[in-house]
Amino acid sequence: MSKAANTKKKQQWNAGSVIPRKPINFFGENQRRTSSTSVSIALSSPSINKTFAGQQKSVLPSISGAQLPVPSSAFHDEDDNDESFLPPKIFDGSKSSINDLSQASSSYIWLRRIKEIFLQMGKNKKTDDEDPFVNYDMEIARDDMLKTFKQYIENQRPDTTAKDYEQKIKKWNVEKLYAETFKMSYKRNTFDQDEKQVQLNVSTNQSGGDRLNFENAIWWYSCNEASIYSQINNMLRTENFELLMSYRYYIIDLCQMIEHAYNRQQQSDTNIKLYRSEKIDSGKLIEMTEKVGKFKNQLISMNGFISTTINEDIATGGYGQKESKRPNVSPVLYEITIEPKKPGEKCPCAFTNIEQISFHPEEKEVLFSIGSIFVVENINNDFKTQNGKSYEYTRIRLKQTEYNETIVNEMKSKVKRSSQSELSALLIEYLIYLGEYRAAKRYLNSLFKNVSVIKDDSSLPLFYNSMGIIYTQQGLYGDAIRCYKQALDHQIRLQYSNSNRLAQIYNNIGYVYLQMEHNEEALENIKKAERLQLRELKSIRQHLPSIYSNMGQVYYSMGQAYYDDADEQFKKAENMYEQHTYGTYSTFGAL
């Protein structure tokens, strides 16, 4: 084979073995929950009160801590900056192959994967036999959240030269007071893995805004004066995974509480209609309208928790009150239909009525969890008459649905068979795939601070292996080799019989030596990885394609005399990839 042909092969497999670079993230400006255009949901069915009745009190933790003054501007914020929007992502729901996914659907899947991990993190298998890793990990997460929250509040302090400084500093002092209360009083609820045992403090003396549920994640989310809502949805909207990790303690709790409330609520036997108002980019609206007109099965996802109301008038009540500060936007009303579940039908993404929990019960809110997805049924123009004036907007009719069942089931299955430490390793794996090296490295360094807690945990080699991958991607090959050898030592000590993991580590060591142009050491380690993989059944040889690819690159680097050997290895790898769907083989391996 010619050198040019081998060069093409080498480039092909180099591209296949390098972890994708992360998408560009933007840290947007603050958004406010109390925007007059904030999303609302309304339930038009008369059975809605019955549907959600009785499930709220079992979810509400009691008040703890000192009583806090409630600002008078609890519902409409005069300084609303119209940035509570959640830009919709529309994509073709008929695509079932990972290879066919668009950027929008791929983005949805990554967020959904992380959400599925969050739904299981922090849970003990048995309440009387706590997993020490759970407490250790949640302590790290809470400390990370409080430090980030404190920094956020300090960054919000108005400059003394700012216009209307006196008014702004008063508002900031209220936010800081809530932040201090959050720091002292908030703690997550605890669930076991089967949710048979749930530790919830319950108070039934007051409801809604009359009760200060300092221990309740849903209450804090609805309390815009505390700025939790704006921070959470801002990081989700901009896909800022580093901040997402900083707030995972809270987001895990919020996801699990919504899921728990959804599973306990009485299911409606009639359709439920929910509404959400929004101002979206006019170009995005045109694109959405064109796609829905031409193609069926167009899906919409919105990064973040989706706030809604049970009254259409509440959803559209802010139309015409204030001009948007964002240019080229169009007002829309999402009308969401939720159909009754059929017997045996799996539920789509969870939602729950939070009116009895909310800081703002007058909003009559229903809250959807992260990862909610809807099919677009139709889009048409509409208008609303208010104060003697007519306001035009676009009504987008949606129906709650689930994403591709095969992909979602694979996500859930992988998560449910993982231990708590393996969930952390899987979360780190996803972060590295996304190119979020700093977030992954920060999490790993936190875990390594007290190695005595995890020294006998079977996931310890995975953590060192992940750190080695980060160093490899950053070109710090000496540090990478050190971490891989630590991973190898712990793997041999803890699970010598796990040939897949051992092969993975040897293959990674060989790849680093390849990058350092130490071909003999590279080939030696990669061949060890091959021997270990060939011990396994064909169905579980997870790393063999990568091993053959790396071996081909080594032979290519050794010069023209080895081009035929390189081509042979490249063909082996290529055949294995072609016989399986993309994604079967993980750089990290199945947990």
pLDDT the model gives residue 192: 59
pLDDT the model gives residue 257: 92
Q: What percent of the chain has pLDDT over 70?
A: 74
Structural domain includes residue 27:
no
Q: Distance between CA atoms of 112 and 304, rounded to whole angstroms?
A: 11
User: pLDDT category, 317, cuts 50, 70, 90?
Assistant: confident
| Helix-helix angle 248-264:103-118, to 10 degrees | 80
Q: Which residue has the tokens 């159909």?
A: 339
Q: Give the tens place of pLDDT for each residue, 538-563.
A: 888 889 999 999 999 999 999 999 99
Structural domain includes residue 583:
no
Q: What percent of the chain has pLDDT over 90?
A: 43
pLDDT the model gives residue 33: 36
Structural domain includes residue 590:
no
Average of per-residue pLDDT across 344-348: 69
Structural domain includes residue 433:
yes
pLDDT the model gives residue 313: 87
Q: State the CATH number of the domain containing residue 161.
A: 3.90.176.10
Q: 521, 513 in Cβ contact below 8 A?
A: yes
User: pLDDT category, 409, cuts 50, 70, 90?
Assistant: confident
Domain ends where: 403, 432, 458?
A: 403
pLDDT at residue 182 greater than cutoff 70: yes
Are residues 139 and 286 both part of a single domain? yes
Average of per-residue pLDDT across 325-354: 83
Average of per-residue pLDDT across 387-393: 81
pLDDT at residue 456 greater than cutoff 90: yes
Are residues 382 and 241 both part of a single domain? yes
Q: Distance between CA atoms of 34 and 370, rounded to whole angstroms?
A: 20
Structural domain includes residue 418:
yes
Structural domain includes residue 41:
no
| Helix-helix angle 420-433:405-416, to 10 degrees | 130
Are residues 244 and 171 both part of a single domain? yes
Most confident of 193-197, 355-359, 491-495: 491-495
Structural domain that includes position 264? 48-403
pLDDT the model gives residue 87: 64
pLDDT at residue 369 greater than cutoff 70: yes
Tally of domains within the chain: 2
Are residues 198 and 287 both part of a single domain? yes
Are residues 157 and 225 both part of a single domain? yes
Give the closest residue to 369 by CA, choosing from 382, 352, 355, 357: 352
pLDDT at residue 530 greater than cutoff 90: yes
Q: Is the model more confident about 112 or about 207?
A: 112
pLDDT at residue 30 greater than cutoff 60: no
pLDDT the model gives residue 462: 96
Structural domain includes residue 33:
no
Are residues 452 and 306 both part of a single domain? no
Domain ends where: 352, 379, 403?
A: 403
Are residues 395 and 419 both part of a single domain? no
Are residues 432 and 313 both part of a single domain? no
Q: 218, 254 in Cβ contact below 8 A?
A: yes
Are residues 337 and 237 both part of a single domain? yes
> Rounded mean pLDDT of the chain?
78
Token pair listed for 218: 């849903």
Q: Is the model more confident about 36 or about 212?
A: 212
pLDDT the model gives residue 341: 76
Lowest mean pLDDT among 127-141, 404-418, 447-461, 514-528: 127-141
User: pLDDT category, 96, cuts 50, 70, 90?
Assistant: very low
Amino acid letter, 78? E
Give the closest residue to 391 by CA, choosing from 288, 311, 321: 321
Q: Distance between CA atoms of 298 and 282, rounded to whole angstroms?
A: 18
Q: How far, in Å, are 35, 490, 524, 527 from residue 521 at the CA level?
A: 61, 21, 5, 10
Average of per-residue pLDDT across 128-143: 87
Are residues 391 and 424 both part of a single domain? no
pLDDT the model gives residue 236: 87
Q: Distance between CA atoms of 512 and 473, rounded to whole angstroms?
A: 10
Q: State the CATH number of the domain containing residue 425.
A: 1.25.40.10
Average of per-residue pLDDT across 287-295: 85
Structural domain includes residue 486:
yes
Q: Give the tens place of pLDDT for each residue, 189-233.
A: 876 555 544 444 334 344 444 567 888 899 999 988 888 888 898
Domain ends where: 359, 379, 403?
A: 403
Q: Is the model more confident about 582 or about 100?
A: 100
pLDDT the model gives residue 267: 75
Are residues 486 and 533 both part of a single domain? yes
Are residues 395 and 425 both part of a single domain? no
pLDDT the model gives residue 590: 36
Strands (E), 268-372: 272-281, 298-302, 306-309, 329-338, 351-353, 365-368
